Structure 1
Amino acid sequence: MAKQKIIFARIMRKRYPKYKPTNIPWLKEAPEEWEVLRYKYLFKEINDRSEKGEEELLSVSQYTGVTVRKDKLEDERDNLTNASSLEGYKRVDKNDLVINIMLAWNGSLGVSDYNGIVSPAYCVYKGNSQVFSKYFHYLLRTDFSKNDFKKVSTGVVDSRLRMYSDDFFSIYTILPPLPDQRAIAAFLDHKCALIDTFIQKKTRLIELLKEQKQALINRAVTRGLDPEAPLKPSGIEWLGDIPEGWEVKKVKYVITSLASGGTPSMEKKEFWDGNIPWISPKDMKYAEIFDSEIKVTHLAVEKTSVKLIPANSILMVVRSGILQRTLPIAINRVSVTINQDLKAITLNNTIMFEYFIGIIRGIENELLNACRKVVATVDSIEIPYLLDFMIPVPSLEDQKKLLDYIKREEANIDLVISRITREIDLIKEYKSALIAEAVTGGIDVRGWRNKDEAG
C-alpha cells in the first residue's frame, strides 16, 4: 500500500530556487544553472562495425527502448533477423544512444543497457563527459523531443521520414549539471519501476479475466447451462460428454458457403482508395467489423477475383502469424471484400451465426490444435481439416439461451476489464507527466531519497 501511495501521489511541486528563460520552443524556462546548447556539443556518432556479426543482436522500440532481440521473440521458430549475415552491423556499448533514424519521430530510440550490435540503418552515439546517459534516455523519449525530431526529419509522409545525424545535432536541448542529471535519473528509475510494476500487475489481471471469459464460453458451448442435465458421450476425445439433446456435427454440415478473398493489383490505382472495406488480418481486432484500414473500388470488385461479401457473414483468419496465439473470427456488419488470408462463411438454418462464433471462440485451442498447419514462415488453417472438425450443436432454442448467458457474463467481465484499462491509461499519463516535469527542471528532485534503500 505504501508503494501505491507513492505512485499515485501528485507530482511534487518543489521547484528550483531560480529559473531563466530559454530559446527552446517547448521550454519557457529552465533552472538557472542549466545550460542550453545543441546536441552536437554533447554526442558524437560512432560507426564501429562488427567483423563477424557474432555479438548480441539488439533491437530498438518506441515502447521498450533498446532490448536484446532474442528476448522479444514470441516463438522459437521466429528468426532473429532476415539478414543472411550480421557482419557489418554497428557495434553498441553499454550507455550508448541508439536511434532508428526512420522512426525517431515516434520515439524509437534509447540508451542501451547492453553491449551488442544493431542494424546498419541505425545511428549510434556516445555522450561526452558532460552527459549522464540515463538522464538523456528519459529526455529524448519525451513527446517534446519526438516533436523536435519530426520537425528536423526529411520525407514526404511520416512512414518515410528520416532523421540523420546532422539533423539530430542541430537540435537545441537543455543540459543540467551532472549531479542533477544523476539525481533525476535515479528518481525516475525508482518511480518508473513502481509504475511499471503496477502496470504489469494490472495487465496480468486483464489476462486472467480474459482467460476466465474463455473458460466461461468453453463451458457454456460444450456443457450447456444446467449442471444437472443428463449427458451422453460425444464420441470426441477432447469434447467428452455433452447434454443428451445436443448433436455433434462436422463444420461442413452447418455451413452453406466458404468464400475466399484476394488482392487486386497494387499497380492499378483505379482498384484502390474506394469506399468498399477490404478486410485483412490486421482489421480483425473486434467481434464486429464495420470498416478497414484499406479500401477498394467498385471497379476492383467488377474486374478482379475480389468479390463482395454480404453483411452479417462470418469472417475467419485462415493464414497469419497470429494463428500461433489465437483464431480471429468476426461478423461483418457491412458488405466487405476480404484478402486471401481470410475466409467468409455463411451458415444454414441449423445454427445461429452468433452462436457459431461463440463455439469457435470457446473451443479455439482445440480447433487450432486440430486444424493449424505450422510452418517456418506463416501458420495457416487447413480447410479440409476445418470442414471435418466436429462441433457440438444444441437446439436453436438452447443456442439462444446460451447466447444470452454468454453475452451477459461477457459484458460483466468486459466492464471490469475496461475499468482496469482506464486505470492503466491514467497511470501511463501520470508517468509521462512525471518524466516531463523531472527532465525539464519543473520539479527539483536533488533532495529526493529512496526511502526503501535508506531503511
Structure 2
Amino acid sequence: MNIAAYPKYDDYKESGFTPVGEIPTHWTCSRIRHAAEISPSRRLDGNTGREEQVVFLPMEAVGDNGQIDQSNIRLSREVSEGFTYFQRGDVVMAKITPCFENGKGAYLKELSTKYGFGTTELHVMRPREVTGEFLYYFLNRSAFRTYSEVFMVGSAGQKRVSTDFLKNQLIPIPPLPEQRAIAAFLDGKCGTIDEAVRIKEEQIRLLAERRQILIQEAVTRGLNPDAPMKDSGIDWIGHIPSHWDVLPLKYIAALRSGDTISAESFTEAGYPVYGGNGFRGFTSRYTHRGHFALIGRQGALCGNVNYADGEFFASEHAIVATPKRQIKTVWLGEIIRCANFNRLSQSAAQPGISVEVIGNQRLPLPPQCEQQPIVDYVEREAGKIDAALSLKQTQISALREYKTSLINAAVTGKIKVL
C-alpha cells in the first residue's frame, strides 16, 4: 500500500488551487459551476410525473462511502414540494455539518427510479464537463472536505457549505477517457479496500463477542469445569457452582451516585473526573481514592461499566460501587457488566437507572479465594483478545488512510493510472 509505487505523468503545471496543487500539463481547471449544473431545475412531465414512484433520500439514507439506501419509495406528488430534486446520473453531497465532514454523498448511477427527491441538506450537481464518477471522487476526498470546513457558514451545529462557495471552487479536468479510467481504477481499488475493511470489522465483532463470552463464563461459572452446579435462579445466568452464593448487589457492594459538577469546575489539570461514560476532564478536588467500578446512571449507555483508580472525582452521572466482604473490584465490575443493567433503564427520552433498582439485582458471588484467580484469568485472556482487536483497528485505520491518499492522488493527477 504505497502511493509512491504508482507511475507519475511526465510534466506538471500549477492548478492555481491550493488543495489541488500541481496537475498534469494536458489537464485543465474549471469552476465547478461550469463543470456541473448545481441545483438543477426539475423537468417533470406534468401529466404523469406527479403519480410516478420515486426514490426518497433522507440524510440517513446517504452513506459515507458512496452508497445510498433506495428502499424509501414515495409518490412524486407527496415529496415534490419542499424537497431537493435529483435524477439518475447526478451527484449528491451533504451540505450540513457533521454530514459533510463525514463524507456523505453519492454518484447516482444506479438510481432505481428515473428521478427522486431528498432532504434539502443535499447539494445536487449534474455533470457537464466531467463524468459523474470523477466529480463524486473529487468532491468526496478528505482534502476537499477539510479545505471547505473553514468556509462553512451558519451557527454552530448548523453550519453548511453554501452553494456560492461550491460554485466557485476549481476542479481539475482531465480528458474524458482519463476521467473514465481514473473512476474505473478507483472503483476497483476502493471496492477492494472497502471489502477488506468489512472483513476486518466482522473479525472485530467476532473477537468482541468471544471476549464477552469468555468473561461471562469465567465470572458466572468459575474456572473449574468439573465443579458441581446448581440453578442460580437468575434467568440470564442459569447454573452456577453449587458452593457459590447468590445475593442482591446491595449486599455485595455499597452503591452511591457521584457528586454534581458544574462546567466552571473543570480545569486543565488536576484530579480526573469520571462520569457515566468514563473520563470527562479534570477538576481541583477529588471524591474518591482507590480502585472502583463505576456504573453509568443516565443516557443511552446507562449501565455500562468503567474503572477509576487513584484519586478522582465521580460525577452525578456515575454510580460508584464500593466492594464489601473483600470483594475484588475487577470481578465486581465484570459481573455487573455481564448483568447488562441497561435493560433496566427507564424513560425513552432520557434513559436512566436508579441505585435502588440495581441494588436489588441478584448476582452470583464466589468465595473470596476464587475471585483473584478469576480476575487473573480474565485479565490475561481478555488482554490477548484486546491485543488482537487493537491490531485489527490499526489495520483498518491504515486501509482507510491509504484509500484517502489514493483517491486524492488519482483525481489530482499525482499518479497516472492509464
TM-score clears 0.5: yes
For residues 408 and 255 of structure 1, what CA distance do their matches in structure 2 show?
25
Per-residue deviation, 1:359: 0.9
* Matched-pair contact (CA < 8 Å) for 2:3–2:405: no
1:259 matched residue in structure 2: 257
**Is the Cα contact below 8 Å between 2:314 and 2:320 reproduced in 1?**
no
**What letter is aligned with 1:88?**
G
Does the alignment pair 1:89 with 2:83?
Answer: yes
SS, match of residue 68 in structure 2: strand
The 1-side partners of 2:354 and 2:86 are apart by: 44
Structure 1 residue 384 displacement after superposition: 4.2
Alignment partner of 1:31 out of 24, 33, 37: 24
Contact 2:14/2:23 (CA < 8 Å) preserved in 1? yes
- Name the CA distance, whole Å, in 1 between partners of 2:320 and 2:70: 37
Q: List runs of 5+ in structure 1 lacking aligned partners.
A: 1-7, 72-84, 299-306, 447-455
Question: Partner residue of 2:387?
Answer: 415
Residues 1:108 and 1:118: Cα distance change in structure 2 (over 3 Å): farther
Write the mapping of 1:123-202 to structure 2, written as runs, cut at 5 A: 123-154=122-153, 161-202=159-200
Alignment-derived partner of residue 227 in structure 1: 225
Partner of residue 335, structure 1: 312
Structure-2 residue corresponding to 1:353? 329
Query: Structure 1 residues 308-317 or 239-248, which shifts more?
Result: 308-317
Q: Deviations over 1:402-439 (max 9, x none)?
A: 00111010111111122222222222222122112211
In the other structure, the counterpart of 2:293 is 314
**42 and 255 in structure 1: CA distance in 2 versus 1, 3 angstrom threshold:** same
Q: Distance in 2 between matches of 1:156 and 1:239?
A: 50
Cα offset for 1:194? Answer: 0.9
Q: Is the 8 A contact 2:274 2:312 kept in 1?
A: no
| Residue identity opposite 1:231 in structure 2 | M
Q: Residues 38 and 126 of structure 2 are in contact (CA less than 8 Å); yes or no, is this contact kept in structure 1? A: no
What is the 5 A alignment of 1:54-453?
A: 56-59=56-59, 63-65=64-66, 67-68=68-69, 88-94=82-88, 95-103=90-98, 106-113=101-108, 114=111, 116-120=116-120, 122-154=121-153, 161-259=159-257, 262=260, 264=262, 270=264, 279-281=274-276, 284=277, 289=278, 291-292=279-280, 308=287, 312-322=291-301, 327-333=303-309, 334-340=311-317, 342-364=318-340, 367-369=341-343, 371-373=344-346, 376-381=348-353, 383-446=355-418
CA distance 1:149–1:10, change in 2 (3 Å) = closer
State the one-letter code of the partner of 2:18. P
Cα gap change, 1:312/1:347 in structure 2, threshold over 3 Å: closer, same or farther?
same
Contact 2:101 2:145 in 1 (8 A): yes
* CA positional deviation for 1:318: 3.2
| Distance change >3 Å, CA 98–CA 28, structure 1 → 2 | closer
Aligned residues of 1:279 and 1:292 also touching (Cα < 8 A): yes
Q: 1:46 Cα shift?
A: 1.7
Q: Cα gap change, 1:55/1:197 in structure 2, threshold over 3 Å: closer, same or farther?
A: closer
| Residues 231 and 243, structure 1, Cα contact 8 Å, conserved in 2 | yes
Structure 1 residue identity aligned to 2:328: M
Query: In 1, distance between residues paired with 2:275 and 2:133?
Result: 41
For residues 231-255 of structure 1, the C-alpha deviation after alignment (integer angstroms, 9 at most, x for no partner) is 3332334433322331111112112
Aligned residues: 396
Tell me, in whole angstroms, the C-alpha distance in 1 between the residues paired with 2:375 and 2:41: 62
Q: What's the CA shift for 1:138? A: 1.4
Contact 2:95 2:123 in 1 (8 A): no
For 1:347 and 1:93, the matched residues in 2 are separated by: 63
Whichever residue aligns with residue 67 of structure 1, its letter is: I
| 1:30-74, Cα deviation, whole Å (9 max, x unpaired) | 122211122222233327699999952332678345633989xxx
CA contact (8 A) 2:301 2:342 kept: no
Cα distance per residue 1:356-406 (max 9 Å; x no partner): 111123343xx555x344x55354446544222111111122111100111
SS at match of 1:134: helix
Cα distance between partner residues in 2 of 1:34 and 1:339: 60
Give % identity: 25
Q: Deviations for 1:155-202, whole angstroms, at most 9, x for unmatched residues?
A: 687x56543111222222211222222211111111111111111111
Gaps of 5+ in 2: 43-48, 73-78
One-letter code of the match for 2:280? Answer: S
Q: Secondary structure at the match of 2:414?
A: coil
Q: Over the residues paired in the alignment, what is the CA RMSD in angstroms?
A: 3.5
Q: Distance in 2 between matches of 1:48 and 1:67?
A: 22
SS in 1 for 2:130: coil
TM-score under structure 2 length normalisation = 0.81
Equivalence for 1:75: none
The equivalent of 1:450 in structure 2 is: none
